[in-house]
Structures are given as C-alpha cells and as structure tokens.
Amino acid sequence: MDDRQLQQWVEHISLTSFGRPFLHKARFNRRLTSTGGRYFTKSHDIEISWAQLEQFGPEDVEKIIKHELCHYHLHLLNRGYLHRDADFKTLLRQVGGTRFCRSLPTAKRKEPYRYKLICSSCKTEYLRKRKLDPKKYACGKCRGKLKLHELDSKQNS
C-alpha cells in the first residue's frame, strides 16, 4: 500500500463513518513506532504508522485512522478534539476507533542508562541516558558536587 491508496482509504472511512469528506493529505510515516498516527492542527494532515500496518494489519490501522479522523473533524468543527475532551471520547466510541494503538514489539522502548552521576557528599546516584557536564549541575538533595561515571553496556541491560 502506498500514500495514494492510504489517501483513498482515509477519504472512504471519513465519508462512511463520519458522513463528512476528508479534504487534506494522509500519508504513511515509516519512522512512527511509538504511536499509531498523528493529526497536525496547522495543516490538518494525518500521518499513519507504516509499522502498525505491517505488524497488525488493516483492521487495526482502520481504528487508528478513525482515531485521527476524530481529531480532524472535531477540530474543524471547533469542538473538543483533544484526548481529554468529552466530544472526542463520545465520537471515538460512536465510530469504533481505538483510544490506544497496540505496542510494537520491535519498538525500542527503553534505552539502557549509559551514565551515572554520583554526589561526592551524600553519595546519591542519578542515572542518565545522555552525557552531560557535571560542573553545570549540583546534587538535588545536598547541593554537593557531582561526578560523572560511564556505565558498561552489559551492566545496565
């Protein structure tokens, strides 16, 4: 399936489930792994995760499309289009969309910590994924100096 077919699919779902046309662009995004889709409030475009289609098939992606179309139509109607809004929850239930997409097993969810900061005064440890300059920070408990240690990859996985 390509972007042109996705566009037609989204337009069809919009007309059949919502009774309103989808007048903007729909496209696949191959980098989306932690989310099923996105709706852009400025351009009104929709992006759908290619990985969701590959992993779980068109049934799940149709529910994701309905979710994103709820954002789309409610936003254009100046009604509550955010996840927390009652209008959004009601419409999502009516059209049979999904509130959350399924997690991808291939998505790298949690990176191991690579660095540890240790307070020289109270010995409090802070784990970090990114390297930072310890001179710019102080201990959150005692305001002591921090020392940076690099962790082994085997130690924290």
Is 68 one of the annotated active-site residues of the chain? yes
Structure tokens at 1: 């399936």
Half-sphere CA count of 53, side-chain side, radius 13 A:
19
Nearby residues of 126 by Cβ (< 8 Å), 6 or more positions away: 116, 117, 118, 140, 146
Of 11, 68, 111, 125, the active-site residue reads: 68
Half-sphere CA count of 157, side-chain side, radius 13 A:
4
Neighbours of 104 (CB within 10 A): 19
For residues 139 and 147, the answer to whether their CB atoms sit within 8 Å is no
d(CA 71, CA 92): 9
d(CA 96, CA 17): 9
The pair phi, psi for residue 134, each rounded to 5°, is -65, -20
Catalytic positions, please? 68
